[in-house]
Amino acid sequence: MMDKGSGKNVIILGAGSGIAKGVARALAARQFNLILGGRDMEDLEVSGRDLAIRHGVRTFVEPFDAADFDSHPTFFDRCRALVEPGQIDGVVLCHGFMADQKEAERNFHLARKMVDVNFTSAISILGLAANYFEERGSGFIVGVSSVAGDRGRMSNYLYGSSKAGLSAFLSGLRARLQKRGVQVLTVKPGFVDTSMTWGLPGLFLVGDPDAVGESIARAIERRRNVLYTPWMWWGIMSIIRSVPEFVFKRTKI
């Protein structure tokens, strides 16, 4: 590992995800040191070495299971210890789980897993980060939510409602932390070309994970609150949100 980053340290959660890899490349290019948290250690080690060699930043890997809430305090402490005497400057939550809607309608455990991974885990791990940054009076938190959280659609409302919970959580966190100078960015991707969407029917305007990662890094620099990415999803979701409920409930989307 090479050691000439900006001195700023960012934790990426779910760092093996397609979008996380795009974010990691964009942040490493900006000289952030990275702690890659996730479950596939072999994959993270390879990514970490690649980023360190390409960008001359420090990279670390730490096992992180979003659904193992009790392990989160120790995970966060381990991350802090890794960068000592430096500090953690940002946390980017990328992990997520989307089950088949039809299957989840009949399997409560599957539906609950989506809520646990997409929503409850954020309350747990970002809650720790929020308390840490609040005390310090600086830092940033990024939560990768989804356009699916903007309105419950028949075809995807179980995943969508877990993301709606995440978006609402991030919105409240932003209001709580803004007076301490802490940025909270809600990212709402449309369709992105990753393993989550691989082989799904009906995809359109599919974004590239590197372009999405770059847009997230720019939004952090500009201290944005909410980012739709690719950008045209802002317009699409404005239209979808404006359809009256008595019409919307008859749609098949």
Ligand X SMILES: NC(=O)c1ccc[n+]([C@@H]2O[C@H](COP(=O)([O-])OP(=O)(O)OC[C@H]3O[C@@H](n4cnc5c(N)ncnc54)[C@H](OP(=O)(O)O)[C@@H]3O)[C@@H](O)[C@H]2O)c1
Interface with ligand X (CB under 6 A):
14, 16-19, 38-40, 64-67, 94-98, 117, 144, 146, 189, 191-192, 194-197
Can you tell me the distance from the alpha carbon of 22 to that of 34, in angstroms, rounded to the nearest whole number?
13
Amino acid at 182: V
Provide the minimum distance between the beta carbon of 56 and ligand X in the complex, in angstroms, as a whole number: 25
Provide the minimum distance between the beta carbon of 7 and ligand X in the complex, in angstroms, as a whole number: 27
Give the Å distances, CA to CA, from 128 to 47, 92, 134, 198, 236.
26, 13, 10, 33, 34
The residue (of 36 and 130) whose beta carbon lies closer to ligand X is 36
**Cis peptide leading into 189, omega within 30 of 0?**
no
The residue (of 96 and 165) whose beta carbon lies closer to ligand X is 96
Helix (H) or strand (E) segment spanning residue 164: helix 157-177
The residue (of 5 and 101) whose beta carbon lies closer to ligand X is 101
- Tell me the residue nearest to ligand X as measured from the CB: 96
Provide the minimum distance between the beta carbon of 59 and ligand X in the complex, in angstroms, as a whole number: 16
**Contact of 141 with 216, CB cutoff 8 Å:** no
The residue (of 33 and 47) whose beta carbon lies closer to ligand X is 47
Which residue is listed with tokens 């991974």? 117
Provide the minimum distance between the beta carbon of 194 and ligand X in the complex, in angstroms, as a whole number: 3
Provide the minimum distance between the beta carbon of 51 and ligand X in the complex, in angstroms, as a whole number: 16
The residue (of 51 and 98) whose beta carbon lies closer to ligand X is 98
Can you tell me the distance from the alpha carbon of 146 to that of 122, in angstroms, rounded to the nearest whole number?
14
Residue 70 phi, psi dihedral angles, 5° rounding:
-65, -20
